[in-house]
Amino acid sequence: MSANAPAAAALSPWRAVFHTGHGVAGLSLNDMVTYVAVGWAIRSFYFNEIDREMGTQVQEGKLAMNLIRPVDFQTVMIADAAGQSAFRAVLFTVPISIVLALIFPVKAPASLAAGLLFLWSAVMAFFLVAAINFLVGLIAIRSKSILGILRAKYLLLELVSGLLIPTTLFPEPLRTILLASPFPHINFTPAALYLGKATGLEAARLLGLQAGWTAVLLLWGHWAWKRSQRRITIQGG
């Protein structure tokens, strides 16, 4: 399914919310349209199935082969996903963005700087999602099947990443908890930069948090993979 269909569905309730013409949490209807469109467009870029691929390798008994390869398994998985994302960026993300801009009143980036920061943040969002998916994929080594976990993860990430609802619209204390987590940096941070809602020191703070969380989760995945190798050796997964 193309991204413009779910994007259109996601916009319907927001039109009702903004029908009075008043803004909500500093966002106008046009801002919200742009926010949703940008979110679904970059989702087509950062989306990857590292966790599903790892689950398949466990079920087929192929994961143990990575123990004898002279390259880091996490790096291989992320590099493979990056190649797929680059492919989708050309064939899906760009065309989807054009279609959304033609169908909906999508605003241009707030400024040249906002556009550049948005692109950087979107790339970082890919690595952040890849790090999360790698950690989820490692669960398969213990549970063997993670199909149920994957379904729950997709729904949960769409909500807590800010894809469906801007993080700043969540009630307290949930908003504070989410803003202290890595998840809003998947969608909310790139969209906020695009709209110019985060500039100067605030933009630097968000990008720093995004990079920091990405590094932490990548290191966690590296450590968890090293710990998981013992179980793979014993079970042959």
194-227, pLDDT tens digit by residue? 999 999 999 999 999 999 999 999 999 999 998 8
DSSP 3-state of 24: strand
Share of the chain above pLDDT 70, in %: 86
Report the candidate in 57, 40, 53, 27 with the shortest Cα–Cα distance to residue 1. Answer: 40
Alpha-carbon dihedral 41, 46, 50, 51, rounded to 10 degrees: -70
55-65, pLDDT tens digit by residue? 888 888 787 77
83-137, pLDDT tens digit by residue? 999 999 998 889 888 888 888 788 999 999 999 999 999 999 999 999 999 999 9
Distance CA 28, CA 197 (A): 12
Distance CA 172, CA 126 (A): 28
DSSP 237: -
141, 237 Cβ separation under 8 angstroms: yes
